A = this chain, B = another copy of it.
Amino acid sequence: MTVDITSAAIAAKAASKRLAIFDQRTKNDVLERMATALEVSSAELMAENRQDVENAKTQVTAGALSSAALARLTLTPEKILQMSASVRAVRALEDPVGRILLQSELDEGLELKKISCPFGVIAAIVEARPDAVVQLSALALKSGNALMIKAGAEIGRTASAIVALLSQAAESGEAPASAFTHVEGREAARELLALHEYVDLMIPRGSAELVRFVSTNTRIPVLGHADGVCHIYVDAAANREMAISLILDSKTQAPSTCNAVETVLVDAAIAGEFLPLLVDALHAHKVKTRGCEMTRSVCRQQMEAVAEDEWRLEYGDLTLAIRVVNGLHGALDHIEGFGSHHTDCIVTDDRAAAERFLREVDSAGVFHNVSTRFSDGYRYGFGAEVGISTGKLHARGPVGLEGLVTYKYVLSGKGHCVSQYSGPGARRFQHEMNFS
C-alpha cells in the first residue's frame, strides 16, 4: 500500500495526542496485546519473512549482502518468541511519563511543576532487523509516542507485516492504529526528513553515512551517533596483562559494534617491552594490526602504516590501529583530534593519571580498566536501549526509555498577575524569600 507520507505523519500526530494521555495500565494492556499478537501470528510473519529471505539469499550470492546480515534478517519461531519477550520486558519498565521532576510553590497558591511528557511523533530509520522494529515500537508505545518506522529494504515485507500486526493489536486495545506507521521506500524516508512540523524526534540507526545524511538534511532533532572510534590508552603504569585482556575483549568480542575499540594508544615509555606482547596476542586472535612508524619499527613485523587521516577510521572488523604516544598528554591530544566522543578508556594503576583522563576526555563514556564494550544500555542496567548518542544535547551515551520523553512546566494559580510582583508594594516570590 502506498501511503502519502504527509497524511501519515498528520495521522501519527493525532494518534500521539491520544497516546500522550494514556495511563500506565492502558499502555501496558496494549503492550500485552502486541506481545500476544506476535506469538499468535508467528506463522504469518514467518511466511512474509520467507520471501524477504529468498530475495536476500540472491543478494548474498551476488556478494551484495553478508551472510551475517542474512542471519539477522531471518526469522525463526524462537526469534519471534524473543521479540514478544522483549515487548513484555518493556511492559515491565516503569512509566516514564507523568513523573514530577521538580515542584515548587512560587507564592501562595502559585504552584510550579516540571512534568515528564512524550515527544509526540518519533521517526526511526533502522537496520534490516525485525527485532529492532518490534523493540522500538514497544519503547515508543510505553513512552506515549507515535512511531513512524523505516526498516532496511531487505526486510520490507517482514517489517510491513510486523507493523500491521502491531497496529491491529493497538487498535484492539484503546490505542489508535496509527500509533505505528510503516514507512516504505527511500523516497518516503527522504520526504519524512522535511516534516519537522509533525515529527518531533528522529532516530537514525545504521551506517555512519546514513546518520550523517539524516543529521545534515533535517531540521528535526536527531538522536544518534555516526561514528564509534573508541580508544584504549595503555599508560606506563598499566598492568600489562590486564591491558592485553581488555584490548582483546574490546576488539574481538563483537568487532562490528560501535563500542569496539579501533585504536590503541601506547605510552612511549613502555612501547619497547609492551608492543611485541600486544601484537603477538592480537595476531594469535586473528586481529590484523596497523601501526604508526614507531610501532612498526619496534615490532619488526610486516604491518601496514596508518596515514594521518586514517586515525579517524572505524574499521568495524578485526583490524586494530596502534600508535605510540608521548604519555597521557599525547593520548589526550590524539583522542581530541581523532576520536568520535563515543567511548574511550585508560588502562593504568596510577590513580592520578586515571582521574585526569576521566575528567579531560570529552566523550559520552570515559572508562578506567574496563572493556569499551561495556558502553551499552543493557550493561548499564537501563533495561532497554533506544540508541547511543554522541551528541551532548538531551541524551548522551546509551539512551534508555527516558530519552524518549521531554518535559513541560505546569503552572497553576488563582489569577496571579506578574504586575503584582513589580513596583512599590510588590509581592515577593517564596523562592526569593528562601534566599534570605
Contact = CB atoms under 8 A, between A and B. Distances in A.
A411 B359 contact: no
Contacts of A410: 358, 366-368
Given A221-B393, A253-B419, A381 B413 contact: no
Given A201-B392, A221-B392, A418-B373, A397 B368 contact: no
Given A364-B409, A418-B379, A394 B397 contact: no
A192 B193 CA distance: 25
Contact of A215 (B219, B369, B417): B219
A49 interface: no
A8 B429 CA distance: 42
Most buried by B among A117, A392, A431: A392
Interface in A357-388: 358-360, 362-371, 373-375, 379-381
A186 to B, nearest CB: 23
A367 B412 contact: yes
Interface in A32-64: none
A303 interface: no
Interface stretch (A71-79, A239-247, A276-284, A311-319): A239-247
A415 B120 contact: no
A119 interface: yes
A329 to B, nearest CB: 11
A238 to B, nearest CB: 10
Given A374-B413, A379-B418, 11 more contacts: A21-B359, A104-B381, A106-B379, A242-B415, A246-B415, A249-B419, A363-B408, A373-B417, A381-B429, A381-B432, A396-B406
Contacts of A188: none
A360 B20 contact: yes
Interface of A: 17, 20-21, 104, 106, 110, 112, 117, 119-120, 200-201, 215-216, 219, 221, 223, 239, 242, 245-246, 248-249, 253-254, 336, 354, 358-360, 362-371, 373-375, 379-381, 391-394, 396-398, 406-419, 421-422, 429, 431-432, 434
Given A104-B381, A375-B409, A407-B396, A418 B253 contact: yes
A359 B397 contact: no
A392 B371 contact: no
A358 to B, nearest CB: 5
A111 to B, nearest CB: 9
Most buried by B among A120, A359, A381: A381
B360 A17 contact: yes
